Chain A
Amino acid sequence: MNVAELSQIAVNALLLSGILALVALGFSLVWGIMNIVNLAHGAFIVLGAYLTFYLHEAAGIDPFLSIPICMVVMFALGFAVQRALINQVIRAPILATFLLTFGLEILLVNLVNYFCKGDTRSVTTAYTGAGITLGYVRIPYIRLAALLIALALVAALAWFLRSTRAGRAIRATGMDIDAARLTGVNVPAVYALTYGIGAALAGAAGSLLSVMVPFDPNLGGAYTERSFVISVLGGLGAIGNVVLGALLYAFVDVFVGARLPQLSEAVTFVVLVLALVY
């Protein structure tokens, strides 16, 4: 591997880590606060991507501008789902929420498939493919923008959790649900809020992905898996951890992807299992 290739790969990894961090953040938040492994996370990503696509096709809205719209819509959907469905079984054994979110994922993805058809889509704008070249390395604008937006959202979330009343309520509930209840926190609402935020972040990630890769209704599954691995790698609990986890994962993924693409998932899971066991 020569310098040019190495540096391009490093840059690719850096750019990728931004979006992976965004994807994993929502997932990690829900897991950390509510102890729910949200297998439906991928479905929100897909919904975000399709929403952006249709907004672009039908109304000409630039995909980056549609991110706030996606976030609001996904938040509402996530909030409703949590309130109506998931809250009902939160205290049941873990398998229950696991299966429930899984059932939800199958349902949502299939509905998308049914209404939007399984064709591969992609959001192509005037600036798709453009980028700047610095020495050996080429940086596509879109990926750079995705990285910056992802970081901005991460920072926004961190601020929210630390400085607002709602954010503190979320953290308190995550630490000790009974104590939180005693101090007057409305736990079901907090849970719904948390899940909604997770969904909103997933939706934003979906919007960004829609311009970066060709996608179809099955886009989400791989990202849910990756979110899981990143959450485990980084450790639940702090946003910084998730970002680090994403960075680590992105590097491993890109390096392995350059040399042994066929085994990239196998390697990912070996890393995961090792991380879990030790």
Chain B
Amino acid sequence: MLLAVALALPRFQNPYQLLTFTRFLLLAAMAQGWNFIGGYAGFAAFGNVAFFGIGAYATGLAMLSAWHVPFFPALAFGSLVAAVTAALVGALVLRLKGHYFAIATLGVAEALREIADSWDDLTNGSTGLDLPIREPGAFFYYTALALVVAGLVVTRLLAPSKMGLAWMAIREDQDAARTLGIHATPYKVAAFALSAVFAALAGGVTAYQNIHVTPTDFFKLQYTLEMIIACIIGGAGTVLGPVLGAAVYQVLSTYAWSRFIELHPTVLGLVIIFFVIFAPRGLMQAFGATWRMAKGERRFRWTDLVANVRVNRVT
């Protein structure tokens, strides 16, 4: 039912609004990817835009190469390159924990940006690449939609599976998990690689859509943050969370951009602060609680709003 609405959408929207929806879908896809490593496995990766950029460049280079690879195979190629990179980097970096892991991944993303900027022979440096132009239409929207649906399916399948449970065990307590016989490393690397694939696919689609690909635009820290915020808002470690969070974020962002274009980062900052303090488990949890209240299982108390603060603040 929902899918029908989503499929029919392009007919009612002008191209610019369609662009906004497409952006939301791509963000949702990236958030879903991040959800694997950050939500389920509990490793806060701060550099996933690296894979977005790799996907964009790999797709672009394939399409511009002597073989003139068509879009979808190029996209697949891009995700492959990203997955391999993630596996290699992950093997090294997943040994770290907490802050260290976060900043190491951030470092990787920044380093890749600089490399893309300087390696003129391969990436055309700061001048950037121009992909073949595609006539405007609903193509990107449908591709992005397919991506999100695939993400939902994959998450739904993996969450209760052995892999998903292993991730959650690792998230709760990696050492305890190890004593139970779960080898953390392959699972962590798998989560990381999976997140890379989604980011890369989103990157490839965006590259084709924007036509012009440059290191500064495609290795932006902001994209990583948006992925993470979308997950936090919606609820990391849940199936629908990333999509919901991406939708909320996109609505807020678009609204802020059209009304207060200069203060739009301030709005973003406030949103982040609000969610981190009051609703770190995201909206999915809030809805769950609301539903339970509606069913009469719990009564609403004002203190619920500050419950998170109560637990986490220092006294």
Contact = CB atoms under 8 A, between A and B. Distances in A.
In this complex, which of A108, A110, A187 has the most chain B Cβ atoms within 10 angstroms of its Cβ? A110
A110 B268 CA distance: 10
Interface string B207-251: 000000000000000000100110010000000000000000000
Contact of B99 (A98, A105, A110): A98
A106 interface: yes
Given A91-B311, A269-B110, A276-B104, A100 B115 contact: no
Interface string A95-120: 11011101111111111011000000
B312 A94 contact: no
B177 interface: no
A270 B111 contact: yes
Contacts of B92: 273, 277
- Specify the main secondary structure of chain B where it touches its partner: helix
A214 interface: no
Nearest to B268: A106
Interface in A76-97: 85, 87-92, 94-96
Interface stretch (B188-196, B270-278, B297-305): B270-278
Given A228-B103, A265-B114, A89 B309 contact: yes
A79 B262 CA distance: 28
A262 interface: yes
A259 B110 CA distance: 19
Contact of A114 (B110, B262, B313): B262
A94 B99 CA distance: 7
Contacts of B311: 91-92
A91 B311 CA distance: 8
- Specify the main secondary structure of chain A where it touches its partner: helix
Contacts, number: 137
B1 interface: no
Q: How large is the interface on A (under 10, 10 to 19, 20 to 34, 35 or more residues)?
A: 35 or more
A263 B118 contact: yes
Contact of A276 (B96, B114, B265, B313): B96
A106 B232 contact: no
B232 A99 contact: yes
Contact of B313 (A88, A94, A100): A88
Contact of A107 (B95, B273, B280, B314): B273
B277 A89 contact: yes
A266 interface: yes
17 contacts: A87-B314, A91-B311, A91-B312, A92-B276, A99-B276, A105-B269, A106-B265, A110-B266, A262-B118, A264-B114, A266-B110, A266-B111, A269-B110, A272-B104, A272-B107, A273-B93, A276-B100
Give 7 closest A-B pairs by Cβ, nearest first: A107-B269, A103-B272, A269-B107, A110-B265, A106-B269, A266-B114, A92-B312
Given A92-B276, A102-B272, A106-B269, 18 more contacts: A37-B99, A88-B312, A88-B313, A90-B312, A94-B98, A95-B38, A100-B277, A103-B271, A106-B265, A106-B266, A110-B265, A264-B114, A266-B115, A268-B107, A272-B104, A273-B107, A276-B104, A277-B104
Interface of B: 38, 44, 92-93, 95-96, 98-100, 102-104, 107-108, 110-111, 113-115, 117-118, 225, 228-229, 232, 262-266, 268-273, 276-277, 280, 308-309, 311-315
Interface of A: 37, 85, 87-92, 94-96, 98-100, 102-111, 113-114, 187-188, 191, 225, 228, 232, 262-266, 268-270, 272-273, 276-277
